[in-house]
Amino acid sequence: MKAIVLTKYGSPNDLQLKEIEKPTPKDDEVSIEVKASSVNDWDWCLVRGTPFYIRLLCGFFKPKVRIPGVDIAGEVVAVGKNVTQFQPDDKVYGDLSESGFGGFAEYVCAPVSALALMPENMSYIDAAAIPHAAMLALQGLRDLGNIQPGQKLLINGAGGGVGTLGVQIAKAIGVENITGVDSSNKLDMMRSLGFDRTIDYKQEDFTKSEQGYDLILDPKTNRSIFKYLRVLKPHGSYVTVGGETARLLQALFLSPIIRFFFKKNVTILALKPNKDLDYINELFEAGQIKPAIDGPYNLSSAAEAIQHFGEGNHQGKVIITMENGL
């Protein structure tokens, strides 16, 4: 099979499209013919070996992950002997970030726990866009942020995967007043997905405004936590999904103090992959969410797709499709 192989840390240009052996499923695994995958921050970080903690997780000098790609959508071609939940020809999707990666390949084996059946009306491209980013958004908004209908929400870094799915999930929950912050070229697309108000971060610093938010969801934490507190309403919450390591550590260590003195919540999301794909399936089937798609790129152009993502030029989710066709 064809696969994008990572042999050293460096840049997307170091990735190689290779012909390698097709994997065989273990007893509890499913073998999937991958139809589409998508690019995530994991891929951008893994390929470069930065920030530093990536090397602690994925190999210090050399990547232990051979094939990047965490989101997959495809067709089951074989199942291990203990698998009862799936059968050949099922259309499945999922996030392999805790199952060894491997999405940028024509075939991958994954444990049952990392997969869900795709709804009838979901394309492989949409399915590949959803698992990782939608779970980050849902768990940030609902599980940590406890967002409620009628509340005022801001999503920072809102033109990527988390923001573009997050706004639709929040609307489905009944949130009506949603602000999105990103660069100017993404604001039209963001408004088309449901943002009521958009801010170009190069023109305006939302932490200096007089607006107050019940919840700030931030996939791009890059300021002192005290700046965010300024624009949170009393008892409001700031949920960071990711961002600069020093800022995340500050949020982690100061959150108990902030809760005690300022009566505001600061939390860092720890993703539980695939936990609520059934709920996302319901929203998708009801027409309440539809991912914003950038691409698709062919598997052979995966390096270009990852570079496009890393430079922040993407809108929504960057999709990679396999040459074995959709």
Ligand X SMILES: NC(=O)c1ccc[n+]([C@@H]2O[C@H](COP(=O)([O-])OP(=O)(O)OC[C@H]3O[C@@H](n4cnc5c(N)ncnc54)[C@H](OP(=O)(O)O)[C@@H]3O)[C@@H](O)[C@H]2O)c1
Residues in contact with ligand X by CB under 6 A are: 40-41, 133, 136, 156-157, 159-163, 181-183, 186, 201, 219-220, 222, 241-243, 269-271, 312
Give the residue with the Cβ less far from ligand X, 6 or 318: 318
Residue 150 C-beta: closest distance to ligand X, Å: 25
Residue 77 C-beta: closest distance to ligand X, Å: 28
Give the residue with the Cβ less far from ligand X, 56 or 270: 270
Which residue from 233, 257, 92, 221 is spatially nearest to 153, judged by alpha carbons?
233
Give the residue with the Cβ less far from ligand X, 161 or 236: 161
Residue 234 C-beta: closest distance to ligand X, Å: 25
Please state the φ and ψ torsions of residue 18, each to the nearest 5 degrees: -130, 160
Give the residue with the Cβ less far from ligand X, 117 or 271: 271
Give the residue with the Cβ less far from ligand X, 24 or 184: 184
Give the residue with the Cβ less far from ligand X, 83 or 134: 134
| Whole-number Å distance between alpha carbons of 240 and 262 | 18
Please give the distance of CA 270 from its chain centroid, rounded to a whole number.
12
DSSP string, 231-299: TEEEEEEEEE-SB-HHHHHHHHHHHHHHHHHH--EEEE----TTTTHHHHHHHHHTT-----EEEEEEG
Residue 293 C-beta: closest distance to ligand X, Å: 13
Residue 243 C-beta: closest distance to ligand X, Å: 6
Cβ contacts of residue 314 below 8 Å, gap of 6+? Answer: 39, 160, 294, 308
Assess whether the previous peptide bond of 273 is cis (omega < 30° from 0): no
Residue 318 C-beta: closest distance to ligand X, Å: 8
